[in-house]
Amino acid sequence: MAGSGASQHNLRKAIGVLKDTTTVGFVKVNSDYKELDVAIVKATNHVEQLPKEKHIRTILESVSASRPRADVAYCINSLAKRLAKTHNWAVALKTLMVIHRALREVDASFRGELVKYSRSGHILNLSHFKDDSSPDGEGSRQLEEGGKGWPRCGKWLAGGRQWPGGRRPERAGGEAAEVLGGNR
């Protein structure tokens, strides 16, 4: 029954959106970091579209050098929890994209805090990730391939700029390599 698979997929999408809406309402009432928590949920929601730039900007501003280190640590912890708890390829990919943008655009203090946080656990460890957003596992394959329907993803990751020389970097270096698990 092809129709049943499509309706099940639509139901899973609707549940994801409902979870995001519920989470936003919950953090508006119970969080000391309301604006940041709402931005994280909205930037990494279940909708299969690029996140809005205003939510990304809120997150990037919260991890800048001008903010207290406790605020930066809170943001990193929130992103790590979002990544660890999700079973949806779009949420996982968006969370990784937000972290990547912060590594590229925020000063070195953010990288330092991320390295410090990653030493206490595995912030970017997706070895146990299992996509439950589609009945046939299509989402896991989409995550591995960079996401179906994300043609501007590379440009977005580069912060609206194209990669130098038109090619993306092959290997990470320095502190970023430590966070990402080293050069391979």
pLDDT at 144: 55
Mean pLDDT by 10 residues, the chain (184 residues): 62 69 64 86 90 95 92 92 90 94 93 88 77 63 50 51 43 45 43
Tokens of 16: 């994801």
pLDDT at 154: 52
Residue 182 exposure: Cα atoms within 13 Å on the Cβ side: 2
pLDDT at 134: 67
pLDDT at 159: 53
Supply the DSSP string of 50-82, one letter for each residue: PPPHHHHHHHHHHTSTTS-HHHHHHHHHHHHHH
> Domain locations in the chain?
31-129
* pTM greater than the 0.85 cutoff: no
pLDDT at 127: 78
Domain boundaries 31-129, CATH class: mainly alpha
pLDDT at 29: 60
Give the residue from 84, 94, 87 showing the smallest Cα distance to 55. 94
